[in-house]
Each structure stands twice: as C-alpha cells, then as structure tokens.
Amino acid sequence: MGAGIMNPVMIDIPPGGIGMPNLLSRYAECTIWLARYMERIENLARLIDVTETFVRARSTSTGWLSIVQINADDERFFERHEVASEENVVGFYVIDRENPNSIVSIAHAARENARSLRPLISTEMWMHLNMFTNAVSTLGPSDIRASNLSALCARLKQDCQTHHGITEGTFYRDQAWLFYLIGRNLERADQITRLIDIKYHTLLPSVAGVGSEVDIGQWAAVLRSAAAYHAFRRTVRDDMTPAHVVGFLLKNDGFPRALSTSLRQLYWAVGHLRTDYGLKNGYAAAERIEELRATLAEQTVEDIIVRGLHEFLDWVQRELHLVQGEIARAFWPPAMPAPPANPAPDAGFSQEQSQS
C-alpha cells in the first residue's frame, strides 16, 4: 500500500449504448483509486482514534502495534522506529511524508487522481478534495499531540464523510460511478478482513478472561474501529463474544462495511458494467467475486473459526488482490513493454497500492 499516481494507459472503454460516451481507461483507474484512498483515510483516522481511546482507558501501549500490523507496515515502520509508541505510530500514519501509507501521502494521491478526473467529477467534489488535501498538508507535530488527536481524527472522518456525501449527491451515474463503487467496496472488504484478522488474534484472552470487562471492552473497540458498534447493538442481543463480533463484521448484510455487503455491492457494480455498458472483459472479476460470496455464505462463523479464521481471511485478502488484478487487466491493460531500463508496472497495476 502506497501513495502516488502514475500515467495510466490511454485506451477507450467501449460505450454501452447509443449516446453513451466512451470512458478512457485512465479515468476508470483513477476513479477506483480515488474511492479507495478516501475510504482508506477514513478507516485509518477511525482506527487511530479508537486505539488512542482504548490505550488511554486501559493504561497499555500494545494497541499501537496493531495499527502497524493491520497495514502490513512492520518492516517499513521498524526501519525508522525502535518501538511502536503512540508518538511514533501516529506520526508515521498521519504526517510522515516519506511514508506512502500516511494520511498526508494518501490525501495527496487522492487529489492527484481527482485532478485527472476533472472532466468527470463535479465542481463540488473537486473543491472539497482540494480544500481537504490543503488542510491535511499543513498538519504538523502539534496537531497530533495526545490532547489534539481525538479532535483531529474526528475532523478527518467528517471530511471523508463529507466527500462521500458530495459524491453521492453530485457524481453522474455512468461507468465512472460504477468504478467508484468498485473502488470503495474493494477497500472496505480489504480493510474489514485486516481489522478482524489482527484484532482477533491479538485480543483473544485467556480462558479466565473471557466475558470480563476488559474482554468486552476490547471487542467493543474492534466494533468502533469499523463504525459498527451501534449497528451491532441494534441487531445482536446476545453477549459480545468474539464469534458474535466476527460474524457481524463478516456476514451481516445490513451493515455497510460488512464483508458480505461489500462483496454484494462489488458484484453488482461489475455486473452492471458488463450488462449496461457492454464491458464483457469483466467476466473473470465477476466470477471470482461470486466465488468469494458463495464461500462466505455457505459457512457459519463457527465453521470459519474452527477451520481457521486467519487462513480464511488470508485467502479472502489474496482473492481481493486478484479481483483488483482482473479489473486492471480488463479495463486498463498494461502498456506496450517498456525498455529494460524502465520496466512496465507489474501485471497492469499502474497504481497498485494494495497492502501486502
């Protein structure tokens, strides 16, 4: 996962009917990454905010390492920092311009994608993204002090939600909108599986601790990290157990960030590209998404846990990476082979930012 933008291939995607304009493949790519980046910033801000609250309440510092692990940044982080303290982790993920996974870097990448999309996105979208990125770029050490951190995270989350609202209300419903939905739901599916995978194994208490106040507080923090706490309490009347929390985040079709919901909307968007706009190259991606949905649906959460939750989530993450690859190959094929001194991006991923 990193930030930045490269020059995508300029290939027209065929129109879906009379009067439907072509959508350049570079627009498709940039739209997906704009959606992924804005979703990623909101997720990261929420995770930092919840971790700060939990660590402060429990007088422990071990929670900060989980943010590094969720983002698969262990090697990059520990090359520059000896310990995963609050100061080091927050600085690394908010204002560190050398970290491609920091909020300041991701916000810059989002705006560069939006700049490429100026012929497509609304004036309101562009103005808000511009103001948001300018505000993020001015953040410094004083803004991420413990006394200011919660307010900063709240502002970042609100700005991302404002972007989603403006996009929902002003983005024209054509191929570009479907690619935006693909990006948003790919990111949501990836982030929720990473959150569950890391938190499940780091928070599992001893047998004696199951059901304790600390245990329940930890799982409540996981739900809040996914903006799922209130939805969970509305629908799950039983105790807050690991299985109930994991089941809700994986399989509850009414929760917007549940894995099942993201996969359903992802499949819907790819399907409409194929049926409404004649983009038949999306068959391989649609088939892989359908396999993911079927595998999730046919198992109970207890089955998944018994057979190996980590192994299941790891498989889902690999499949999501392959879905992104199928979409890239279908809609922005790689350029002609470049000279040896300047090799072309791998597997058509001219903007491959997925965490690995």
List all residues 6 or more positions away from 280 whose beta carbon is below 8 Å from its beta carbon. Answer: 274
Q: Which two tokens stand for residue 187?
A: 């990111």
Distance in angstroms between the alpha carbons of the first and the last residue of the chain: 7
List all residues 6 or more positions away from 337 whose beta carbon is below 8 Å from its beta carbon. Answer: 344
Question: What is the reported pLDDT for 55?
Answer: 81
Question: What is the reported pLDDT for 63?
Answer: 81
Confidence label for 59 from pLDDT (cuts 50, 70 and 90): low
Task: Determine how many CB atoms are found less than 10 A away from the CB of residue 264.
Answer: 15
Confidence label for 237 from pLDDT (cuts 50, 70 and 90): confident
pLDDT digits (tens, 9 = 90+) for 5-28: 433 333 344 444 333 345 678 899
Question: What is the reported pLDDT for 322?
Answer: 96
- The b/e string for 123-132 (b: 16+ C-beta within 10 A; e otherwise) is eebbebbeeb
Alpha helix positions (H), 123-209: 123-137, 146-170, 175-203
Question: What is the reported pLDDT for 257?
Answer: 96
241, with CB counted inside 10 A (0-12, 13-18, 19+), is middle
pLDDT digits (tens, 9 = 90+) for 253-308: 999 999 999 999 999 999 999 888 877 788 899 999 999 999 999 999 999 999 99
pLDDT digits (tens, 9 = 90+) for 64-105: 998 999 999 999 999 999 999 999 999 999 999 999 999 999
Q: How far is CA 110 from the centre of its chain?
A: 13
What pTM, to 2 d.p., does this model score? 0.86
Q: How far is CA 275 from the centre of its chain?
A: 26
Query: Does the pLDDT value for residue 345 go beyond 60?
Result: no
